[in-house]
């Protein structure tokens, strides 16, 4: 079950209580090819494929892994699916948008919420709201910093691991706030560094269009871009204050740790920097 937290202290108190069983449970799972469990998307018993191709040395990244054999969704995809489904159930006529559409997650969501609008970010040369041929499909382009949706026109907007790839993520938060109705919610996944407060800036764009790096460039895998996507930030708890500064009335981190449901951490070896619990970021307009 999702629990929502507004600060670091309450969150750490909660994860400290599960740390011992997390360590032993995940150490076991990490050595398996597949494990049985219950899929909240399928509402059925399933088998989870442990590895998805992302590793820390030889140990599998379980945030990208634990893929349900029935629906094909990963740990973090199933997590956001359940939160979006729960919110939409409270508002049966909700106007819902996802900032992706060429993914198994979107296919699963549309089965549950036929009204959901989908889009992809294609490039900064494309215009939000327009439909283009992309990877062989007609796809609506939307940029999170310049959405085509009207002011206060959506009740729920979801996105997965997008914000860390947007240099001006504060502009993205303001733009999402603009298109949400009062009480509307943004629910997203984002790599979250639970021991950080202020975000780490990994790189920044220079005026001449080049990029200044402050360390080794970090690229994340993306099914639609074989070259990967550049990561600008590692977020910490200040992200919640950034959301409030962008006009949201509230912001929270949601945690649902449940190994039987395939909601595990990413299995990163460092609890101090890099371990990520199965969590969501929610901002309420």
Q: What ranges make up the beta strands (E) of the chain?
A: 3-5, 34-39, 44-49, 55-56, 59-60, 67-68, 96-98, 117-118, 131-134, 137-140, 154-160, 180-189, 200-201, 203-205, 211-213, 219-222, 225-230, 233-234, 250-255, 279-284
Of 69 and 238, which has the nearer Cβ to Zn ion? 69
71 forms part of the interface with Zn ion (CB under 5 A):
yes
CB of 73 to Zn ion, least distance (A): 6
Angle at 96 between CA 90 and CA 100, to 5 degrees: 135
Q: Of 41, 94, 176, 179, which one interacts with Zn ion (CB under 5 A)?
A: 41
CB of 27 to Zn ion, least distance (A): 24
255 forms part of the interface with Zn ion (CB under 5 A):
no
Of 71 and 101, which has the nearer Cβ to Zn ion? 71
Could you tell me which stretch among 63-71, 98-106, 229-237, 239-247 binds Zn ion (CB under 5 A)?
63-71
Judge whether 60 and 268 are in contact, CB under 8 Å. Answer: no
117 forms part of the interface with Zn ion (CB under 5 A):
no
70 forms part of the interface with Zn ion (CB under 5 A):
yes
Q: Of 35, 68, 96, 176, which one interacts with Zn ion (CB under 5 A)?
A: 68
CB of 156 to Zn ion, least distance (A): 21
The Cα 197–Cα 279 span in angstroms is 16
CB of 2 to Zn ion, least distance (A): 18
Of 107 and 202, which has the nearer Cβ to Zn ion? 107
The Cα 171–Cα 134 span in angstroms is 26
What's phi and psi for 179, nearest 5 deg? -85, -10
User: Could you tell me how many helices (H) and strands (E) the chain has, helices first?
Assistant: 5, 20
CB of 89 to Zn ion, least distance (A): 18
Q: Kindly list the residues in this chain that would bind Zn ion in the complex (CB under 5 A).
A: 39, 41-42, 68, 70-71
């Amino acid at each position: 079950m999702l629990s929502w937290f507004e600060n670091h202290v309450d969150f750490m108190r909660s994860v400290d209580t599960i740390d011992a069983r997390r360590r032993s449970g995940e150490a076991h799972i990490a050595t398996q090819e597949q494990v049985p469990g219950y899929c909240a998307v399928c509402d059925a018993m399933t088998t989870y494929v442990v590895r998805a191709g992302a590793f820390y040395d030889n140990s599998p990244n379980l945030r990208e892994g634990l893929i349900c054999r029935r629906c094909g969704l990963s740990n973090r995809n199933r997590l956001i699916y359940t939160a979006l489904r729960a919110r939409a159930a409270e508002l049966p006529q909700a106007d819902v948008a996802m900032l992706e559409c060429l993914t198994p997650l979107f296919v699963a969501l549309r089965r549950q919420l036929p009204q959901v609008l989908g889009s992809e970010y294609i490039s900064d040369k494309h215009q939000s709201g327009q439909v283009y041929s992309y990877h062989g499909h007609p796809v609506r382009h939307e940029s999170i910093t310049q959405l085509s949706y009207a002011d206060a026109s959506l009740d729920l907007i979801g996105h997965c691991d997008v914000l860390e790839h947007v240099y001006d993520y504060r502009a993205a938060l303001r733009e999402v706030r603009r298109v949400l109705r009062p009480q509307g919610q943004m629910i997203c996944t984002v790599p979250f560094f639970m021991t950080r407060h202020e975000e780490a800036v990994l790189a920044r764009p220079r005026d001449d269009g080049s990029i200044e790096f402050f360390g080794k460039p970090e690229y994340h895998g993306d099914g639609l871009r074989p070259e990967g996507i550049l990561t600008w930030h590692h977020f910490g708890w200040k992200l919640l204050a950034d959301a409030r500064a962008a006009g949201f009335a509230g912001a929270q981190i949601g945690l649902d740790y449940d190994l039987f449901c395939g909601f595990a951490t990413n299995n990163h070896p460092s609890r101090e920097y890099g371990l990520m619990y199965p969590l969501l970021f929610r901002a309420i307009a």
